[in-house]
């Protein structure tokens, strides 16, 4: 491998230049083994945030991060594989009903997930509220479950894209998370290394999302779809609304409860709609176009698959879910239509109640979070409950209530309306 120096590469990006494939490969390999220092990589990440990268540079960065670790492969299973990645939102529990739903149709779902940080929840934190459920599997256990059940949601092992693991922690403390080339290469390096053949990206837009406006969400989605296609992964993206929470439950066990309602054929319309849309897209990319996805939620097949998936990871699908010790109810101040309920404020309040963590080593409360009694577009009655806050530690109510200040609007003469959840589609 050609040899370069880190200061030389930093200067190229600082001066809005282009890094060659050899330079990017050298950088990622040497950063991963510790020969490029954190302070040098921080400077480079900031130069990338400010000056960007072209498509070729982003592709090279993604490929170099994949090459820093192992790449999984399921060719021996002889089945199609499909996965979904969400850029994260408030009340986004879709992975839970989605993975078993897709598996019902013979498409295997190898989903390596993360934990929540900040106001967005993490899939593993949610599933860990199920008594006995285990997030860590060996590669052999992962493979066996994928073959026997057809769906696995578990923690990504340390062998997958280690360069991203290192770079992501650095970005988190250097104000460089928001750079599109860095987000796209971070997400896609893990998804490509995970070995799925098809991938649907759920790119969230709105106050509760990384991308607050649709232009940036579109740009991120387009870059990621291109990266997937270039790596031979059939990839599409849906841009979906995250201006207000998804569903009625926000928090770990509360979201499991709502997911089980969806798997039983019920649940809020927006959660059901997005689950069905994403499942249909994953199946379409895997060549299954003539299937009635919603039927599998209504006739118990997706629920059976869920039970198998949870049991295979030592979870008890029949055990009662943890419930927080304390509740505080917020009443609707007037009759009318709920015209606004801010996703970020609700997510922040839920986090402060104990559902999320501030540092990655912090514990989360399984029962903490928020139950909404109405969604945007629905009528509310003055004096009736609007939200219930849940926590084990009542001292947390004050901070949560402060986060919710001004979070909702009720229009006395507003007309009920349906939520538009899928805003745009980006095809490969
Ligand atoms: N999720 C990731 O894995 N990486 C990012 O950069 C942002 C979100």
Architecture of the CATH domain 75-312: 3-Layer(aba) Sandwich (3.40)
Using alpha carbons only, give the angle 402, 407, 409 rounded to the nearest 5 degrees.
140
In 191-233 the beta strands, taken as DSSP E runs, fall at 198-205
Question: Ligand 1 center to residue 193 CA distance, Å?
Answer: 15
Distance CA 89, CA 369 (A): 14
Question: Ligand 1 center to residue 42 CA distance, Å?
Answer: 16
Q: Which atom of ligand 1 is found nearest the CA of 182? A: 6
DSSP 352: I
Mutate to test the pocket of ligand 1, among 65, 177, 191, 203 (most ligand atoms within 8 A of CB): 177
Burial of 304 (0-12, 13-18, 19+ CB in 10 A): middle
DSSP 81: B
- 51: part of which helix (H) or strand (E)? helix 38-51
Nearest-10 Cα torsion for 372, 425, 256, 417: 20
User: Of all protein residues, whose CA lies closest to atom 6 belonging to ligand 1?
Assistant: 183
User: Of all protein residues, whose CA lies closest to atom 7 belonging to ligand 1?
Assistant: 183
Instruction: Going residue by residue through the chain, which has 428 residues, state the pLDDT in tens, using 9 for 90 and above.
Output: 778 999 999 999 999 999 999 999 999 999 999 999 999 999 999 999 999 999 999 999 999 999 999 999 999 999 999 999 999 899 999 999 999 999 999 999 999 987 766 677 789 999 999 999 999 999 899 999 999 999 999 998 888 999 998 998 899 888 898 899 999 999 999 999 999 999 999 999 999 998 999 999 999 999 999 999 999 999 999 999 999 999 999 999 999 999 999 999 999 999 999 999 999 999 999 999 999 999 999 999 999 999 999 999 999 999 999 999 999 999 999 999 999 999 999 999 999 999 988 777 788 999 999 999 999 999 999 999 999 999 999 999 999 999 999 999 999 987 888 889 999 999 97
Q: For 326-411, CATH number?
A: 3.90.1170.30
The catalytic site residues sit at: 85, 164, 171, 186, 190
Question: Ligand 1 center to residue 174 CA distance, Å?
Answer: 14
Q: Which atom of ligand 1 is found nearest the CA of 190? A: 3
CB 82 within 8 A of CB 198: yes
Establish whether domains 6-52 and 326-411 are of one fold. no
Q: Which atom of ligand 1 is found nearest the CA of 171? A: 6
Mutate to test the pocket of ligand 1, among 187, 193, 194 (most ligand atoms within 8 A of CB): 187
Where in the chain are the domains? 6-52, 75-312, 326-411
CB 98 within 8 A of CB 273: no
CB 101 within 8 A of CB 277: no
Q: For 6-52, CATH number?
A: 1.20.970.10
Distance CA 49, CA 220 (A): 13
Residues with CB under 6 A from ligand 1: 168, 182-183, 186-187
């Amino acid at each position: 491998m050609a040899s370069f120096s880190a200061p030389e590469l930093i200067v190229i990006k600082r001066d809005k230049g282009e890094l060659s494939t050899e330079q990017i490969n050298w950088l990622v390999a040497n950063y991963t083994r510790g020969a490029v220092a954190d302070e040098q990589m921080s400077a480079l990440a900031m130069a990338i945030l400010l000056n960007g990268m072209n498509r070729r540079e982003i592709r090279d960065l993604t490929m170099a991060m994949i090459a820093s670790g192992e790449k999984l492969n399921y060719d021996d299973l002889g089945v199609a594989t499909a996965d979904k990645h969400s850029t994260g939102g408030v009340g986004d529990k879709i992975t839970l009903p989605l993975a078993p739903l897709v598996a019902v149709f013979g498409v295997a779902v190898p989903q390596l997930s993360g934990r929540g940080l900040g106001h967005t929840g993490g899939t593993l934190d949610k599933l860990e509220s199920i008594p006995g459920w285990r997030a860590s599997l060996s590669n052999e256990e992962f493979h066996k479950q994928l073959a026997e059940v057809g769906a696995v949601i578990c923690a990504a092992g340390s062998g997958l894209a280690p360069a991203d693991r290192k770079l992501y922690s650095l970005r988190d403390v250097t104000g460089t998370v928001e750079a599109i080339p860095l987000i796209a290469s971070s997400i896609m390096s893990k998804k490509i290394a995970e070995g799925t053949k098809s991938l649907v990206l759920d790119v969230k837009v709105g106050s509760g999302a990384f991308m607050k406006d649709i232009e940036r969400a579109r740009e991120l989605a387009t870059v990621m779809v291109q990266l997937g296609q270039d790596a031979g992964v059939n990839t599409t993206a849906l841009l979906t609304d995250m201006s207000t929470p998804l569903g009625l439950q926000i928090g770990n066990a509360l979201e499991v409860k709502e997911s089980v309602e969806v798997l039983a054929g019920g649940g809020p319309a927006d959660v059901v709609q997005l689950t069905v849309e994403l499942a249909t897209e994953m199946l379409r990319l895997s060549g299954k176009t003539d299937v009635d996805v919603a039927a599998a939620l209504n006739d118990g097949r997706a629920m059976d698959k869920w039970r198998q998936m949870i049991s295979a990871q030592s979870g008890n699908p029949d055990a009662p879910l943890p419930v927080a010790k304390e509740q505080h109810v917020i009443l609707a101040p007037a009759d009318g239509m709920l015209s606004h309920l801010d996703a970020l404020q609700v997510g922040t309040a839920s986090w402060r109640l104990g559902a999320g963590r501030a540092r990655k080593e912090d514990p989360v409360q399984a029962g903490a979070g928020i139950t909404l009694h109405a969604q945007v577009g629905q009528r509310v009655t003055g004096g009736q409950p609007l939200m219930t806050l849940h926590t084990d530690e009542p001292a947390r109510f004050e901070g949560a209530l402060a986060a919710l200040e001004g979070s909702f609007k009720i229009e006395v003469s507003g007309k009920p309306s349906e939520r538009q959840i899928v805003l745009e589609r980006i095809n490969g």
